[in-house]
Amino acid sequence: MLVTTINTQGVLNHMKNDTSYLAEQITHRTLSRPFLIHHTTVTNDMKLALYLHYHSEMEFFYLTEGEVDFVIEEETFRLKEGDAIFIPPGLIHYADNIPLNDKTCSFHALVFDISLLTDVLPSYCKHYIYPARYNARKSVLHINSSTDCHTQILELLCPIFDMDKSDIDTYELELRGRLLMIWQLMYNTHLNSVHNNSLYDHIYPQLKKSIDYLDNNYQENIELSTLAYTAGMSEGHFCRIFKEFTGFTPFTYLNRKRILESCRYLTDSTESIADIATKCGYNNISYYNRTFLKMMHETPSAYRKRTS
């Protein structure tokens, strides 16, 4: 049994075997502030240290004991005691527990909205945030003590988990300050290589039109020519730029959007799986089932049973 303690206005405890409690349903806030700190312990008989989920906020995950395989989209990172990982917004992630003798697996997580940083930055500093916001997959960072910079990040991050959660006035400014210092270190050594400022400033507004079109019309049959036209680009140039910014091909992004929307319907409605597949743009139920299994690592019916 995995017990998670979430510090907010009160203390909310939930058990891993109560799998109806999904991360995207959690309000990641402390009082009215856009962040939340989790403290979790997993016994060594549990396969999952962190269940499959995603959220619109960023996250720092810090492993205090044990060992896990942390999976973000299709990439796996082996985290050992004392390691951390930065998860940009919107990426599907989970962690498999690696049992080590009688050791438990324990970790902290800081989940925070991007506004926690951007609200205190002038407009001319917003480009520092661009990589994690617009190129999330390339912005993932496995943090360990192998470099001086990573050691500095860990030294700034760890005290956040020890702050007194009962009185936000005693740590709120320090929390923001530590995050900004962490961000500067990440930018200097990693995020600055992810993007080109001028490319983001000039190309992203065009690309966003096609991303918005995909998000708003995912139920429909969408042609590559329509997406390229919406962005004002040739099809070849559009595909290259789209993947550079999002980490996905246009139609991988579309499939991902459809599957994630279907997850919402599976959890929140009593409609048949076939009807949900059709509603989310799939005319072939077999293809929907295969795509769902590949992405979510379980069938739609198993997902519904687990989360309803």
Among residues of the chain, what percentage have pLDDT more than 70? 87
Question: Would you state the structure tokens that stand for residue 66, as one six-digit string?
Answer: 């044990």
The stretch 152-167 carries a mean pLDDT of 90
User: How many residues would you count in the chain?
Assistant: 308
Q: Kindly tell me if the per-residue pLDDT of 12 is higher than 90.
A: no
Q: Which amino acid is at 137?
A: R
Between CA 105 and CA 298 the distance in angstroms is 24
Compute the 3-state secondary structure of the chain and give helix, strand, coil in percent, each to the nearest 5.
50, 20, 30
Distances (CA, A) of 182 to 201, 204, 259, 266: 24, 26, 34, 38
Cβ-proximal residues to 88 (8 Å cutoff; 6+ apart), any chain = 58, 132, 133, 136, 137, 139, 140
Identify the bridge partners of residue 61 per DSSP, sorted by sequence position. Answer: 85, 109
CATH architecture for segment(s) 2-193:
Sandwich (2.60)
Are β-strands 84-87 and 58-65 bridged in parallel, bridged antiparallel, or unpaired? antiparallel
Domain 197-307 CATH superfamily = Homeodomain-like (1.10.10.60)
Q: What is the DSSP letter of 290?
A: H
The C-alpha atoms of residue 58 and residue 55 are separated, in whole angstroms, by 8
Highest mean pLDDT, choosing among 6-15, 179-188, 193-202? 179-188
CB 1 within 8 A of CB 42: no
Domain residue limits, the chain: 2-193, 197-307
> Maximum Cα–Cα distance for the chain, whole Å?
58
- pLDDT of the residue at 26: 52
Which of 284, 277, 278 lies closest to 303, judged by CA? 277
Partners of residue 117 on adjacent β-strands? none
**Per-residue pLDDT reduced to its tens digit, 52-77:** 888 889 999 999 999 999 999 989 99
How many angstroms separate the CA atoms of 45 and 186, rounded?
A: 35
Condensed to tens digits (0 to 9), the pLDDT of residues 104-148 reads: 899 999 999 999 999 889 988 888 988 898 888 999 999 999 999
Whole-angstrom distance, CA of residue 262 vs CA of residue 281: 10
pTM of the model: 0.80
Are 195 and 133 in contact, with CB atoms under 8 Å apart? no
